[in-house]
Amino acid sequence: MAGRLGDQPIIILKDTERMQGRDAQSMNIHTAKTVAGLIRSTLGPKGMDKMLVDSIGDVYISNDGASILDDIETEHPTAKMIIEVAHTQEDEAGDGTTSAVVFAGELLKKAEELLAQKIHATTIVKGYKIASKKAQELLDNMAISVKTEDGKAKQSVDLSEGKVGEPKAISELLKKIAITALASKGIGSNPKLAEKCVKAVKAIEDNGRINVEENIMLLKKRGKSVDETEFVNGLVIDKMRVSINQPRKIKKAKIALFDQEIQARQTKGDAKYKIRSSKQMQLFAEEEKRLMKQTVERIASTGANVVFSTKNIDDNILDYFNQINILGIRRTKEEDLKKLARATGASIVSNPEKLEESDLGYAGIVEERGVGNYKMFYIEECENPKSVTLVLHGPSEYILENLEGSVNDALHVIGDVIEDGKIIAGGGAPEIEVGLRLREYASTLSGREQLAVQAFADAIEIIPYSLAENSGLDPIDSLVDLRSKHKQGHKNSGLNLDSGDVVDMIENGIVEPLRVKKQMMKSATEAADMLLRIDDIFAARRMSMEEKYGGKGYHMRDYDWAPHPKIDED
């Protein structure tokens, strides 16, 4: 509804309260800092874990920033925006989620200091954009290429930068990338697991492109140790035989895939039969069996000896399958069936009558394996499989949950390097180098944006600061040592978090994909810029049951996330 006071229009927002100016900015900044503070202690290989207890008492322990934020229930709109930074980072780079959120929180903290100095938010945003663009250039200059000019992966990469040292084979480099990613999630340095991750990603490479979500299956199996995690050049389906009469192993498997029930042929329409005698009943049963046998013979005529279906397979048909040594597996997950199609080269068919030999896929072996009551089917030795499996082992559900997240991150960063062909030093080296060069660059700027660029340079150092702090090192001393090395021109110098020494990260094999670092800075900067531009918050009243039936509603102050306004008694 609108009114008019003199020549000025008045807008009245019904059932809405408003927070504006510095109050809105302060609330957004405070919230972002709080969210970043929740997960900052989890950053790096020495980071701490968080224990989350849900509303029904289930306990979940993790040190993965994205997982922790996903499990936190919040109504706060700003908190949701910061959490979205982690999602963006996860989608675009597959790792670096905690760093992105922590950096975003620190950017807003530095912005708050500039706002207190009467620097306008628009100026800060402009300065941050200038700094982010320059940071991307600096990261590109630090990167090492692992691809040839024609875009193919190099057979070897010399990481010694002209010093005495053996060139690293590309597989060994990818292994080091995986070790770094696994270590950052608390799994520790695990070369065996890293090697299996590299095998899995290289197996699904398609003209330099990698699709981890669609083509790599992660299957958790409690028992054994993490080192006994299995790489299967094919698939593992979490299904068991329904009868001991079914074959346990099929060699040279020709695989048929169905997305419908396999049963006797159905009549068209809604035909009904009236059975008036036991003889008619017997004839009906015999005819049904004949039709079922006909269906089985039709499938067998194509040469198929393994059948998967997402729906039911009639018990009688399974019995016929057993008699002619065909393995039937029913109620397979739809996503598993699609992966089976990619792994074996089979086509998914709806009607057994339309199955052709060309629709069949191939695997060298399909076998049920396992111990006790927990068994699974292994589909291996596929020809040019487009889907593979990692069977994760661990002594407890807690370890398996963390292992799954760690392996998922490792697979993505390996894929990043294969796709982009660029790596960069880890251990806080890029952040220190970017911070140092941005301060030099800021001195060349004439406007107030110079202050924002300097603030960006200070904020990015929260990453090495947190790495040192979480490792039990003195963060101030660590930053001083790092800055000193970088001023001397050692751009790849980072922190050895075990000894506390500043060493060359490239020579020590502590490397990361360039994509992770670039996306981390980009995501955090965009989030900070977006929040700094907000100077007004309109919140509609929350409707309650009482209000619906005549009671009062809730105002902005009744939201958990909204601060209570201070009353000026003067």
pLDDT higher than threshold 60 for residue 2: no
Residue 162 pLDDT grade (very low, low, confident, very high; cuts 50, 70, 90): very low
Average pLDDT (404-416) is: 91
pLDDT of residue 535: 80
Q: What is the pLDDT of residue 100?
A: 95
Q: CA–CA separation, 69 vs 32, rounded Å?
A: 12
User: What pTM value is reported for the model?
Assistant: 0.80
pLDDT band at 276 (very low <50, low <70, confident <90, very high): low
The more confidently predicted of residues 208 and 265 is: 208
- Catalytic residue, chosen from 42, 98, 310, 389, is 98
- Quote the pLDDT of residue 161: 45
Question: Is 64 an active-site residue?
Answer: yes
Q: With residue 325 as reference, give the H or E element that holds it.
A: none
Question: Cβ distance 178 to 410 under 8 Å?
Answer: yes
Correct CATH for 250-367 of 3.40.50.150, 3.30.530.20, 3.50.7.10, 1.20.1080.10: 3.50.7.10
Q: Which residue has the tokens 């291996």?
A: 380
Q: What is the mean pLDDT of residues 463-478?
A: 96
Q: Which tokens go with 22?
A: 């510095």
- Say which of 64, 359, 481, 529 is annotated catalytic: 64
Decide: 343 and 386 in contact? Cβ < 8 Å: yes
Active-site position among 31, 97, 229, 344 = 97
What is the average pLDDT across 409-434?
93
CA distances from 230 to 40, 245, 261, 341, 398 (A): 33, 28, 32, 21, 19
At 292 the pLDDT is: 84
- What pLDDT does 567 receive? 38
Span 404-408, average pLDDT: 90
pLDDT at 121 over 90: yes
> Which of 23-27, 177-181, 270-274 shows the lowest mean pLDDT across its residues?
270-274
Q: What is the mean pLDDT of the chain?
A: 84
Structure tokens given for 256:
């048929």
pLDDT at 39 over 60: yes
Whole-number pLDDT of residue 272: 62
Q: What is the pLDDT of residue 311?
A: 92
- The count of other CB atoms within 10 Å of the CB of residue 84 is 15
| Lowest-confidence region among 60-69, 153-162, 185-194, 429-438 | 153-162
Quick one: pLDDT band at residue 564, thresholds 50, 70, 90? very low
Q: Is 209 buried (19+), middle (13-18) or exposed (0-12) by CB count in 10 A?
A: exposed
Q: What per-residue confidence (pLDDT) applies to 112?
A: 95
Q: Identify which of 19-23, 98-102, 171-175, 562-566 has the greatest average pLDDT.
A: 98-102
Cα atoms in the 13 Å half-sphere on the side-chain side of 517: 30
Question: Do 19-145+425-532 and 250-367 share a fold?
Answer: no
Contact call for residues 429 and 494 (beta carbons, < 8 A)? yes
* pLDDT at residue 542 in the model: 60
Specify the DSSP class assigned to residue 541. Answer: P
Cα distances (Å, whole numbers) of residue 336 to 38, 201, 260, 405, 565: 36, 18, 15, 20, 54
Q: Where does the pLDDT of residue 166 fall: very low under 50, low under 70, confident under 90, or very high at 90 and above? A: very low
pLDDT at 146: 80
Indicate whether 557 pLDDT > 70.
no
CATH 1.10.560.10 fits 19-145+425-532, yes or no: yes
318-332 per-position pLDDT tens digit: 999 999 999 999 999
227 in active site: no
What's the start-to-end Cα distance of the chain, in Å?
Answer: 33
Most confident stretch, 150-159, 206-215, 259-268? 206-215
Q: Is the pLDDT at 16 greater than 70, yes or no?
A: no
Token output for 430: 């890029």
Catalytic residue among 409, 416, 481, 529: 409
How deeply is 356 buried, as exposed, middle or buried, from its count of CB atoms within 10 A (0-12, 13-18, 19+)?
Answer: exposed
Residue 556 has pLDDT above 70, yes or no: no
Q: 354: which DSSP letter?
A: G
Specify the amino acid at residue 367. E
Would you state the pLDDT for residue 375? 87
Tell me what the mean pLDDT of segment 63-75 comes to.
Answer: 82
At 570, which helix (H) or strand (E)? none
Going by their DSSP bridges, the two strands 348-349 and 144-145 should be labelled as: unpaired
Show me where the domains of the chain are located.
19-145+425-532, 250-367
Looking at the predicted structure, is the pLDDT value of residue 140 above 90?
Answer: yes
Contact (Cβ atoms closer than 8 angstroms) between residue 507 and residue 159: yes
Local confidence band at 469 (pLDDT 50, 70, 90 cut-offs): very high
CB 146 within 8 A of CB 417: yes
